[in-house]
Amino acid sequence: MTDSSRDAIERVAAAIAAARSITALTGAGVSAASGIPTFRGEDGLWKNVRAETLATREAFENDPRLVWEWYEWRRTLIRDAQPNAAHHVLAEWTRTRSASLITQNVDGLHERAGAEGLIRLHGSIWHVRCWDRCPAGGEDWRDDRVPIGTLPPRCPHCGGMVRPAVVWFGEPLDEAVLNSARAAAACDVFLTVGTSSVVYPAAGLIPDAKAAGALVVEINPDATGTSHVADVTLRMKADEALTAIHALTP
């Protein structure tokens, strides 16, 4: 750790200790130390196909089986993974500091670390939905099984296709969920952790927080789409940075 990153960590720890309200926004980088590939990193390819071309309604309409095979590959990876120190520190802050936690991740690792009140912007890879939104299957439901046999899985109510209950490119976010995230962005200390900050409206929460007067802290080994907004930048891995901050936060 450099002297400047040590100074920055001390500054962030002091700000967190003094804050009345803390909010963290997380992205795929938070789960990197758990072995889950990020979307835009070099390991984000699956069968040479980029995530951006699979996570769309069009991709599912064209080849639902291919899209489900990608999700089943990710679900298997995630099922075998464990939350890392970044998930544990953030979860503890939700319990002991009433921190708000907003995630773009669909992997469920924040929940498994015991986070309270998690705001899931992009849904959950463990939930599914009837593609036709048939009346009986109108609500999302949890289904952890990796379906053996034919893909896509079938709706138990109407026999139609089932899709993952995640937000795909071009789809709107749930308005109530987005509103709670925007409300949480108005805080004293806002940490943006492990996200490339190129996908909106999630990335817009970072300038929102800044405009509301928050100290904005970016934790990411690389520059992001909103680095210019950050008051403090920690070019570190999420688990290492959060562990170091936590150790200095009484």
**Residue nearest ligand APR, CB atom distance:** 29
Tell me the C-alpha distance between 141 and 120, whole Å. 15
If the CB atoms of residues 110 and 155 are measured against ligand APR, the closer one turns out to be 110
CB of 167 vs ligand APR, minimal distance in Å: 6
Which of 119, 64, 122 is closest to 90 using CA atoms?
119
Q: Which DSSP string corresponds to 61-96? A: HH-HHHHHHHHHHHHHHHHH----HHHHHHHHHHHH
- In the chain, the DSSP E strands lie at 22-26, 100-103, 119-120, 123-130, 141-142, 162-166, 189-193, 215-219, 232-234
Residues that bind ligand APR (CB under 6 A): 27-29, 32-33, 38-41, 44, 51, 104, 122, 194-196, 199, 220-222, 224, 237-238
CB of 37 vs ligand APR, minimal distance in Å: 8
Instruction: Please indicate whether residue 122 is annotated as part of the active site.
Output: yes
Could you tell me the CA-to-CA distances from 68 to 1, 65, 153 in Å, in that order? 42, 5, 8
CB of 85 vs ligand APR, minimal distance in Å: 11
CB 142 within 8 A of CB 126: yes
Which of 87, 88, 110, 122 is an active site residue?
Answer: 122
HSE toward the beta carbon, residue 201, CA cutoff 13 A: 17
CB of 239 vs ligand APR, minimal distance in Å: 7
Q: Indicate which residues carry an active-site annotation.
A: 122
